[in-house]
Amino acid sequence: MQVVFEQVINGLTIGSFYALIALGYSMVYGVLKLINFAHGDFFTLGSYVGYTILVWVSGLTVVHFGLWGLIVIAMFVAALAVALTGLAVERVAYRPIYPTGRLPAVVSALGASIFIQNAIMVVWGPRFQAYPSKLIPNIKFVLGGVNITLLQILILLMSFILMAVLYVVIQKTTFGAAVRASALDRETASLMGINFKKVIFFIFFLGPALGAMAGVMVGMYYRQISFTMGWNYGLKAFTATILGGIGNLPGAMFGGLILGVLEMLGAAYISAAWKDVFVFLILILVLIFRPNGLFGERVAEKV
Amino acid sequence: MTKEALLAVDDLHIFYGSIDALKGVSLFLNRGEIITVLGANGAGKTTLLNAISGIVPSAKGSIRFNGNLLNGMPAHEIVNMGISQAPEGRKVFSTLTVEENLNLGAFTRRHRKGDVLEAKERAHALFPILKKRYRQLAGTLSGGEQQMLAIGRALMSAPKILLLDEPSLGLAPILVNQIFDIIGEINRQGTSILLVEQNANKALGIAARAYVLENGQVSVSGPSEELRSDEKIREAYLGGRALKKK
């Protein structure tokens, strides 16, 4: 039984990475109906920017801000740098292409993905990079026989706070309602006085920022990062988005967490090598019975 | 006339690709007035409203509001200036609640909480059902309720001009009467209204003046009373029968 709980905690940890990345996919898809294939690479870029702060300029920062300050700064700088990259990519690779339709934009997104990946390779080199090993004290807590590390607690805490904040902004504020309205019907939203460009700014700032923070957390958790890892995480996060119901933010969050837990349980009880097969099998089953995803809603519209 | 008009459209041309949807439409709306634009499907009525709202770009001609040129202004700024629209087919945000729909109507002044509250009270007074359905998703409302929400939402920005695109569409006669009574009430409270309708009978009953659009051009215009007695109009839009005076 303890193994189950431990695997659930491991699963929630990697699930929260998926969830944070999935939110970016889901927001962009919801508003623009665009699958932003570059999003996984925003995540990688965040991981590398965080790495740079933690390794290259850590000495100075630790002296002034302490270890926790350093981590906060690494997260913040990564989020900001990647958010700005996200806005630039939207401006350069997507905005000129919207009028030509959805498919060309998807191709452009693939191009942006390849571009960012190679840019990372050029700047940081093709080899794996390693996050500092003793960043967070390796403290283990035992709760009812279940092991959980300090790092895991921190990751879960940070992810849940970020998700809760985003949830409140999107679901409880008028600006959040404007984002959802723009996703439903852009033209009518503009009749409300909603500036669509501001909505795009919002999603292309926040989505990449959340992905970047997930990137820093992944670096701290696995310690090893590579310039191609965005593809794998992006694919999983995209799967989580579909699982939860694309365009639905709570769906993306729960989709990510569920996916992470399933993956870890599959790895423990079926086979570590076959864990992805297990995950996608579940995805297929969900889509057969709930084509709009677990949380995808369809309100019957009366005309 | 156009100098004093609140809204003046002059020689407006609109193209969709190579199709000319409007071919030189001119009309005006005076302060405090209700005017109606009649016409068959495809005559260009919705295009006209969308051009005023800034959703559709105009190729030629001018749209002036209070003397200011609206051409080329983005839709969200036009709302802010004081023109709002309840679009054809209601277009309520179906997965948002009634409350959220109303809040979005006041989006441009969302930081002025007092104004939003006041506008909401006004909408509730006009459409008490919206208060009852406040927490419900808009998509679960009946057609009539959705129409009321669409109009209530458009009023949330406290517009000087309200553009209404076929508010009677698909509604039962009793609801149509109710909606038209409320349109009259909104006007008495000081909002000028441009009403696009297929229900010519009801529209001529409420509007002071009317324009008939045919193939993107104004074919007839004048006081509603005159149009009511016009033989051709009667035949084309009023079912041909002699109408009783209201």
- pLDDT for the residue A298: 54
Q: Do A191 and B85 touch (CB under 8 A)?
A: yes
B214 residue type, one letter? E
Residues of chain A in contact with residue B75, where contact means CB-CB under 8 angstroms, are: 190-191, 193
CA dihedral (A213, A215, A216, A220) positive or negative: positive
Q: Is B95 on the interface with A (CB under 8 A)?
A: yes
Domains of chain A: 2-289 (1.10.3470)
Q: Measured between alpha carbons, how far is A61 from A47 in angstroms, rounded to an integer?
A: 18
- pLDDT for the residue B246: 42
Q: Is B172 on the interface with A (CB under 8 A)?
A: no
Q: Measured between alpha carbons, how far is A24 from A209 in angstroms, rounded to an integer?
A: 9
- pLDDT for the residue A303: 38
- pLDDT for the residue A299: 45
Q: How far is A87 from chain B (nearest CA, A)?
A: 22
Q: Do A192 and B87 touch (CB under 8 A)?
A: no
Indicate if the pLDDT at residue A60 is higher than 80: no
- pLDDT for the residue B2: 45
Q: Measured between alpha carbons, how far is A148 from A157 in angstroms, rounded to an integer?
A: 13
Cβ within 8 Å of A, B 45-74: 53-55, 74
Q: How far is B157 from chain A (nearest CA, A)?
A: 8
Residues of chain A in contact with residue B55, where contact means CB-CB under 8 angstroms, are: 187, 190-191
* Average pLDDT of the segment spanning A125-143: 89
A271 residue type, one letter? S
Q: Which of A174, A181, A190 lies closest to B75 in CB terms?
A: A190
Q: Residue B98's closest chain A neighbor by CA?
A: A177
- pLDDT for the residue B245: 46
Q: Do B94 and A184 touch (CB under 8 A)?
A: yes
Q: What is the pLDDT along chain B (246 residues), one digit of tens a residue?
A: 445 799 999 999 999 888 889 999 999 999 999 999 999 888 999 999 999 999 999 999 999 999 999 999 999 999 999 999 999 999 999 999 999 999 999 999 999 999 999 999 999 999 999 999 999 999 999 999 999 999 999 999 999 999 999 999 989 999 999 999 999 999 999 999 999 998 899 999 999 999 999 999 999 999 999 998 888 777 777 665 554 444
Q: Is B140 on the interface with A (CB under 8 A)?
A: yes
Residues of chain B in contact with residue A303, where contact means CB-CB under 8 angstroms, are: 89, 143, 170
Is the model more confident about B17 or about A85? A85
B93 residue type, one letter? F
Q: How far is B214 from chain A (nearest CA, A)?
A: 26
- pLDDT for the residue B230: 84
When computed from its CA atoms, the radius of gyration of chain A, rounded to whole angstroms, is 19
Q: Tokens 């079926």 belong to which residue? A: A270
Pick from A299, A1, A275, A2: nearest CA to A148: A2
A103-118 pLDDT per residue, tens: 999 999 999 999 999 9
Q: How many Cβ pairs closer than 8 A exist between chain A and B?
A: 87
Residues of chain B in contact with residue A299, where contact means CB-CB under 8 angstroms, are: 94-95, 137, 139-140
Q: Do B94 and A187 touch (CB under 8 A)?
A: no
Q: How far is A187 from chain B (nearest CA, A)?
A: 7
User: ∠ at Cα B39 (B35, B41), nearest 5°?
Assistant: 135
Q: Measured between alpha carbons, how far is A288 from A178 in angstroms, rounded to an integer?
A: 32
- pLDDT for the residue B3: 55
Query: Residue B35 corresponds to which tokens in the numbers above?
Result: 């005017």
What interface predicted TM-score (ipTM) does this complex get?
0.91
Q: Do A303 and B170 touch (CB under 8 A)?
A: yes
CATH topology of domain B1-82+198-246: Rossmann fold (3.40.50)
| CB distance A172 to B78 below 8 Å | no
Q: Tokens 């939402």 belong to which residue? A: B153
Q: What is the DSSP string of A55-114?
A: HHSHHHHHHHHHHHHHHHHHHHHHHHHHHHHHHHHIIIIITTTGGG-HHHHHHHHHHHHH
Indicate if the pLDDT at residue A88 is higher than 80: yes
When computed from its CA atoms, the radius of gyration of chain B, rounded to whole angstroms, is 17
| CB distance A28 to A89 below 8 Å | no
A168-211 pLDDT per residue, tens: 999 999 999 999 999 999 999 999 999 999 999 999 999 999 99
Q: How far is A290 from chain B (nearest CA, A)?
A: 18
Q: Measured between alpha carbons, how far is B112 from A164 in angstroms, rounded to an integer?
A: 26
In order of A203, B139, B190, the CA distances from B204 in angstroms are 46, 31, 19
Q: Measured between alpha carbons, how far is A1 from A210 in angstroms, rounded to an integer?
A: 33
| CB distance A155 to A11 below 8 Å | no
Size of chain A in residues: 303
The HSE-up count of residue A150 (CA atoms within 13 Å, CB side) is: 7
- pLDDT for the residue A282: 86
- pLDDT for the residue A278: 85
Q: Do B75 and A184 touch (CB under 8 A)?
A: no
